[in-house]
Amino acid sequence: MGKGAMLLLLCLMFCAALMAGDKTIYDFTLNSIDGQPAPLSAYKGKVVMLVNVASRCGFTPQYTALESIYEKYQALGFVIVGIPANNFGAQEPGTNEEIKTFCSTKYNVKFPMMAKVSVKGDDKTPLYQYLTDKSANPATGGEIQWNFTKFLVGPNGQVVARFESKVTPDSPEVTSAIEKALSSAKH
């Protein structure tokens, strides 16, 4: 291989490595709870909270606080995306239709809900492979430990904070992080 070809190959490899590091949540598409493709790029410029949810968990009442902060900050460019997963204690055994009915009737959820996925293990959905990747997200990566883990994503599609299950969505810690991310979106 000639010097020019080798240089070109090295340059291409370097560029590919750089681009891999530039991934954001906008590179992923889930399915809505109704089965339609739901590209996360639809939320460009917004502050997004991604939450793996379950209907039969001790943390399930967090739906009330999630809906409350969604309603409080929605007009400012904030969205919550609920992502049902059955990875922990089989606490989300229902079908997408059953989950949708449960969320709307029991908790009056209005924020977007996605179709059930896996957030841990060999069948982990690509979005959660990215979110939990410590090399892509050193400060917030790591395996999901339980239902209702919350990832806060800035308007540029990058994860800015992670809150574990026990941290309630309406806690000062979370709401101040949302407000900070929203203020950065205005600049």
pLDDT of residue 21: 57
- Would 14 be classed as within a structural domain? no
pLDDT of residue 163: 98
pLDDT of residue 17: 43
**Tens-place pLDDT, residues 97-156:** 999 999 999 999 999 999 999 999 999 999 999 999 999 889 999 999 999 999 999 999
Give Cα separations from 162 to 23, 27, 60, 83, 168 (angstroms): 17, 19, 18, 15, 12
For residue 38, give its domain range.
Answer: 24-186
* Residues whose CB falls within 8 Å of the CB of residue 106, separated by 6 or more in sequence, listed in order: 63
**Tens-place pLDDT, residues 123-136:** 999 999 999 999 98
**Tens-place pLDDT, residues 14-67:** 444 444 458 999 999 999 999 999 999 999 999 999 999 999 999 999 999 999
Give Cα separations from 178 to 64, 81, 187 (angstroms): 17, 14, 15
- Would 2 be classed as within a structural domain? no
Count of domains observed in the chain:
1
- Would 6 be classed as within a structural domain? no
- Would 146 be classed as within a structural domain? yes
- Would 11 be classed as within a structural domain? no
Q: What is the CATH number of the domain that holds 85?
A: 3.40.30.10
> Among 11, 15, 57, 103, which one carries the catalytic annotation?
57
Q: What pTM did the predictor assign?
A: 0.88
User: 9: pLDDT confidence band, cut at 50, 70 and 90?
Assistant: very low
- Would 9 be classed as within a structural domain? no
- Would 3 be classed as within a structural domain? no
Give Cα separations from 119 to 24, 115, 125, 159, 164 (angstroms): 17, 12, 6, 16, 14
Q: Is 15 a catalytic residue?
A: no
pLDDT of residue 176: 98
- Would 175 be classed as within a structural domain? yes
